[in-house]
Structure 1
């Protein structure tokens, strides 16, 4: 007897979080089977401190004319019974990303390159900056660039323009690629767990201007970077990715800065990719990041 043929439709991800209890896996997988879904991968985790259960299921529909996203409504009774928060995400839809940057361009250029070459599963819908410096590189990558300065210290008006730009481009995620402005609570509230920031991991030891100079003067042996979701508390949001690089006593200040920028590029790209692939669940001030 030949094996039954599985027709693969659009890839969909189901993200689920609830209190742990027996039978969750059976309940969710049984629902997907009854709806004609073919499960292709499953990752799950239990936080033993809080008793929370987390699950990521990637599936396709055996009937390609049906959308996996359409199961969200039918799943509501299951979610209610489990007391679960749930998200369905279409993996075959290319997410649209807005990048905010200030004068430094190392993270910005890296994201533009990765998106252009397909290394990052995203379309950079726009780049906005409070400085005009990135217009040329955005022209090279054929990405719309918007100079949105802060005029006479009127930050509220500048943020309003940014929100309007992001809305007009139907953006799914906002990335701060070394955007050196503190965002207001009003701005952050528009995009809960949809703003990713990158900063060096020299905080809180070396705050203010020239952190790498301060680190060099103190003879640090590691530099690193942290990528996290942005919350109202500055640089304290749920961490998505971190990395470090060793520093030698032989390294010059310029070499330390170069290593720091390399780590910032890689860490930010890793965090953005994990979010776009629906591999991150944020809760309280923590994250579960599936491989």
Structure 2
């Protein structure tokens, strides 16, 4: 029988001996560290740490391990979480009428590249119900008409929250879900929702961004994955990437390249989240790759 494995993440004000005390605690409780990473931010004066370890002493049970670490955490004023390393987080995907990110995440999930469970797909359109059915995942159509009153929007978002509660969702992924979320829903999703959007140098907003970029002759296109906050597309950044483009490429080619970048960037962000590699540092993130 294999030994139980955990992932411990923590942050606190930087101080001497954090690594020593945490690793010493694990050794004293019959645990073996598999890998460990840490970072001290000189600006925020915060220290961040992620430890993947196995509990090898069967005289130390799960409850004792957590209770004893809680005492150490209280003494050192640690903000911490200790999770089962083999638990597959439950992810809800949300999409509108653009499906490349949805399709990519579903393929990675089905092929075992993304260690998650996906109990629900939510959309304000019906375009991808057959795709959801092909993966045997329930599809929830929650329409919201253009220009719908605030009452209708809040009722639709209440259904989203209800689905999250019903399915015990750990992470919501906005896989090109083209609706602005209300402040209330953003608050409910704090720290457990990831969005993806294109990012250009310079930036183009509004309709047909790739056509705008082509018209301006951009040389770089890319994508940004970030946590959802009440500030539209300005939450803590998790991952970004870019591709070089040139004058020979038309707007459709730029769009195709952009879709590929968006898929890769979003998949990385989701994978790092479910592997508990992302710690928030104010308006930024620490990502232990």
* TM-score band w.r.t. shorter chain: over 0.9
CA distance in structure 1 between the aligned counterparts of 2:125 and 2:59, rounded to whole angstroms: 47
- Cα distance in 2 for residues equivalent to 1:242 and 1:104: 20
Structure 2 matches for 1:123-202, cutoff 5 A?
123-151=117-145, 152-153=148-149, 154-202=152-200
Partner of residue 3, structure 1: none
8 Å CA contact retained: 2:194, 2:270: yes
Contact 2:29 2:60 in 1 (8 A): no
CA gap 1:223/1:203 in 2 versus in 1, 3 angstroms: closer
Secondary structure of the structure 2 residue equivalent to 1:201: strand
Partner of 1:4: none
Question: For the residues of structure 2 that align with 1:192 and 1:79, how far apart are their CA atoms?
Answer: 23
Q: What's 2:208 paired with?
A: 210
Kindly indicate whether residue 41 of structure 2 is the aligned counterpart of residue 39 of structure 1: no
| TM-score, normalised relative to structure 1 | 0.94
Instruction: For residue 194 of structure 1, report the CA deviation from its aligned partner.
Output: 0.3
Q: Is the 8 A contact 1:17 1:85 kept in 2?
A: yes
Q: Displaced runs of 4+ in structure 1, greater than 4 A? A: 64-70
CA contact (8 A) 1:103 1:133 kept: yes
* Cα displacement string for residues 54-111 of structure 1 (whole angstroms, at most 9, x for unaligned residues): 1100001103586657633221221122221101121201111000100000000001
Q: Which moved more, 1:137-146 or 1:182-191?
A: 182-191
Offset of residue 10 of structure 1: 2.1
Aligned to 1:240: 238
Gaps of 5+ in 2: none
Tell me which residue corresponds to 1:90. Answer: 84
Partners of 1:69 and 1:190 in 2: CA distance: 29
1:120 to 110, 114, 117: 114
Describe the shift of the 1:214–1:70 C-alpha distance in structure 2 as closer, same or farther (beyond 3 A): farther
Moved more, 80-89 or 105-114: 80-89
Unaligned runs of 5+ in 1: 1-6
1: distance between equivalents of 2:233 and 2:61?
38
Deviations 1:229-275 (Å, cap 9, x if unpaired)? 11111111111110000011111111100000000000000000000
**Alpha-carbon separation, structure 1, partners of 2:52 and 2:74:** 21
Q: Which residue of 1 aligns with 2:226?
A: 228
Aligned residues: 285
Residues of 1 paired with 2:287 and 2:226: CA distance? Answer: 12
RMSD in angstroms over aligned alpha carbons?
1.6
Is contact 1:101–1:130 with CA below 8 Å preserved after alignment?
Answer: yes
